[in-house]
Amino acid sequence: MQETINATQSLVTLDVALPGIIWGGIITINMWAKSIGTGVIIVGAYLLFRHKKEQMPNYRWLIPLIAFIALNVFLLFTLIDLHQPYRMINIFLHPHFTSAITVGAWIASLFTLLVSVMLIIGLASGFPDVLRHNGVAKKLRGSESLYDKLSPIVLFLAFPVTLYTAIIMAESSARELWQAPTELTQMFLAALIAGAATLLLFSAKWSDAVKKDITLVLIFAVTFSFLIYMGEYFFSFKSSEAEATLAYIHLGGTYSIQFWVAMILGYILPFFLGILSIKENTKSVAKVAAVSALIGLYLAKDVWLKIPQLLPLS
Amino acid sequence: MKLGFLVDLHLCMGCKGCEVACKVENEVPLSSWRLRVKYLDRGVFPDTSRSFTPLRCNHCENAPCERICPVSALHYLDNGIVNIDNERCIGCAGCMMACPYGAIYMDPETNTADKCTYCAHRVEGGLLPACVVACPVEANIFGDIEDDTSHISQYIMAHKGNVQVRKPEKHTNPKHYYVGGGTSSLDPLAHERIEGYGLFNNITHLKTNGDPHHGIIDRFLAPFKSHEKDNKSFMQSDKTEKGGH
Ligand code: SF4
Ligand code: SF4
Ligand code: SF4
């Protein structure tokens, strides 16, 4: 930081203006929607491991449907953030595989494709009366085994799809805050938070035991994610750049209020509301926790994305 | 062959000749720069001094911008230049997140990333970069750093112990050297910076600073519109906002 004694004081007196925030709200929505899309797959798989599928009657189409919508929002926002959107195709025609952007785009596209196939099969089987005599629909209804074969592949892909953004951030050598190893864990926990919160909102038909389990995942994820944020905020060893970046969320910093609102809405409130909902068995409280977590997660991601871009780089 | 730059900060007098020459040679639009000369005032009145630091792309040997570019729009040339092909660029701005020196800008006219190319087009034709030619005190030295007999190599040898690069801790291996720099010249966190404050005038902050080079819809419509070749849109007074002191 700048020197504070007269003898070494130095001040920029003529320079160009700073470029400002380049990756803004569009990228925040991109990350947030991706967390939902991959999170419902990961949390859904965990629920299937723990509970009988009869306890989650619409599971086979609900999970791919939420994932499909969220992934398409994610892909749309990836596209509209490009300054040359029509050239997106170059990622496939001229791929550069040292770039996590390329690898991520390839895996995410494959992932979305497989989720779409699962969604079509899931919907055809979930609503047998729709297009009852249609040949294609009949064939799809008979493709349950394909659905089952795709499920583990999609689950496997959900991990790199959710984590590759952390690798993009690690490759962003100009933003040291994003290069912290904790970013990978935070990205995974964000998927758990987003997945659990979204499922809490759409699992009306699922058994209480399942809902309780989802709430526990939410509580677990917000707790660990919050602890990591606090560790980075207060304690961890940081480079001087990361330290200077965090000044924007320290008291009086430009993003201090948004950061603490995010911590309260996304992490502290869902933790207590989640516990309350389990203790009192009140589903509406769990839903409030879910909405709060989704809003807080968005705000936290937004702050973390923007603050390193405020620093002068040269 | 590895082309490199050296700026002797003892010689630089802050005339900004190189900055202007670069703008003209490469048609760099307003609100963007490939090369700029930063003024820094040290000490407290009346005991003050002013220094000037020209800043451009370092053509790193281990360039994070090249690594993150998803379509290889940023690529190495055999002579060591980190070049950019803006016909291929998709405008993802990944390189802007990766370059630790903030050397890349999103060209508001082409909607693609751009930066100093060490004037690759001139070098190919046997000419020196425009900024080197313009410098009246020969503070900018350009040449092959792998050739021990080149002027730049000799200069580095003559000043060894006083040759620095920016942010060596980033492991980018810059091929752009400074003689006579200090921490406050080369480390952006080592000096105070008050946005909107300028030495000679009020700084006019263009609204185009930051991301909105074009609205999202405009990005989709751009290929169907005639290409704006001048800077008129930036000069309209309603598009600018006054700031500074
Ligand atoms: S200075 Fe920045 S733009 Fe230039 S080669 Fe290095 S990383 Fe790339
Ligand atoms: S903005 Fe262009 S040059 Fe920069 S990383 Fe993206 S595609 Fe490559
Ligand atoms: S080498 Fe060319 S592009 Fe680079 S700063 Fe000089 S004039 Fe500009």
B208-217 tens-digit pLDDT: 544 445 678 8
Residues of B in contact with A105 (CB under 8 A): 70
**Region A286-300 average pLDDT:** 98
Each domain of chain A, given as residue ranges in start order, spans 22-308
Confidence at B109, pLDDT banded by 50, 70, 90: confident
Q: Is pLDDT of A228 > 80?
A: yes
Give, using CA atoms, the residue closest to atom 5 of ligand 1.
Answer: B59
Q: Rounded to whole angstroms, how far apart are CA atoms B43 and B47?
A: 6
- More confident call, A85 vs B193: A85
**Region A223-246 average pLDDT:** 92
Q: Alpha helix locations (H) across chain B? A: 17-26, 64-68, 94-98, 120-124, 130-134, 151-158, 183-186, 216-221, 232-235
Atom of ligand 3 nearest to the CA of B140: 6
Pairing of strands B176-179, B3-8: parallel
Dist. CA B119 → ligand 3 center (Å): 5
Nearest to A270 by CA among A208, A206, A209, A189: A189
Residue pairs between chains A and B whose CB atoms are closer than 8 Å: 204
- Total number of domains constituting chain B: 1
Residues of A in contact with B223 (CB under 8 A): 86
Residue contact B90–A91, C-beta within 8 A: yes
Residues of A in contact with B70 (CB under 8 A): 90-91, 95-96, 99, 101-102, 105
CB A206 within 8 A of CB A212: no
Q: Is pLDDT of B229 > 80?
A: no
Rounded to the nearest angstrom, the gap between the alpha carbon of residue B70 and the centroid of all alpha carbons in its chain is: 22
Residues of A in contact with B213 (CB under 8 A): 83
Token pair of A81 as six digits: 């953030």
Atom of ligand 3 nearest to the CA of B118: 1
CB B11 within 8 A of CB B178: no
pLDDT at B20: 97
Confidence at A237, pLDDT banded by 50, 70, 90: confident
Residues of B in contact with A2 (CB under 8 A): 189-192
Q: Rounded to whole angstroms, how far apart are CA atoms A13 and B186?
A: 15
Residues in the ligand 1 pocket, defined by CB under 6 Å: B 57-60, 63-65, 82, 99, 101, 103-104, 115, 172
> Which among A16, A86, A88 has the least Cβ separation from residue B36?
A16
pTM, 2 dp? 0.92
Q: Rounded to whole angstroms, how far apart are CA atoms A218 and A199?
A: 10
Identify from B170, B193, B217 which residue to disrupt to test chain A contact, counting A C-beta atoms within 10 A and taking the largest count. B193
Count Cα atoms within 13 angstroms, Cβ side, for A39.
29
Task: Give residue for tokens 């009346």.
Answer: B46
| CA of B220 vs chain A CAs: smallest distance (Å) | 7
A136 phi and psi angles, rounded to 5 deg: -65, -45
Dist. CA A35 → ligand 1 center (Å): 31
**Region A177-194 average pLDDT:** 97
Q: Which long-range CB contacts under 8 A does A140-144 form with residues at least 24 apart?
A: none
Give, using CA atoms, the residue closest to atom 5 of ligand 3.
Answer: B35
**Averaged confidence pLDDT in chain B:** 88
Q: Rounded to whole angstroms, how far apart are CA atoms B38 and B55?
A: 7
Ligand that comes closest to the CA of residue B37 = 3
Atom of ligand 2 nearest to the CA of B104: 4
Q: Which secondary-structure segment (H or E) carries B240?
A: strand B240-242
A49-61 tens-digit pLDDT: 999 999 999 999 9
Q: Is pLDDT of A19 > 90?
A: no
Dist. CA B242 → ligand 2 center (Å): 31
Q: Is pLDDT of B238 > 70?
A: no
pLDDT at B204: 59
CATH of A22-308, one of 2.40.160.40, 1.20.1630.10, 1.10.460.10, 1.10.357.10: 1.20.1630.10
Q: Which structural domain range is residue B215 located in?
A: 3-242
Atom of ligand 3 nearest to the CA of B56: 5
pLDDT at B202: 62
| CA of B218 vs chain A CAs: smallest distance (Å) | 9
Dist. CA A62 → ligand 2 center (Å): 37
Q: Which secondary-structure segment (H or E) carries A219?
A: helix A208-230
What's the burial of A128, exposed, middle or buried (CB within 10 Å: 0-12/13-18/19+)? Answer: exposed
pLDDT at A4: 65
CATH of the domain at B71: 3.30.70.20
Ligand that comes closest to the CA of residue B60 = 1
**Region B36-65 average pLDDT:** 94
**Region A251-260 average pLDDT:** 96
**Region A273-283 average pLDDT:** 94
Token pair of B3 as six digits: 């082309």
Q: Which residues pair with B177 in a beta bridge?
A: B6
How many other C-beta atoms can be found within 10 angstroms of the C-beta atom of residue B225? 8
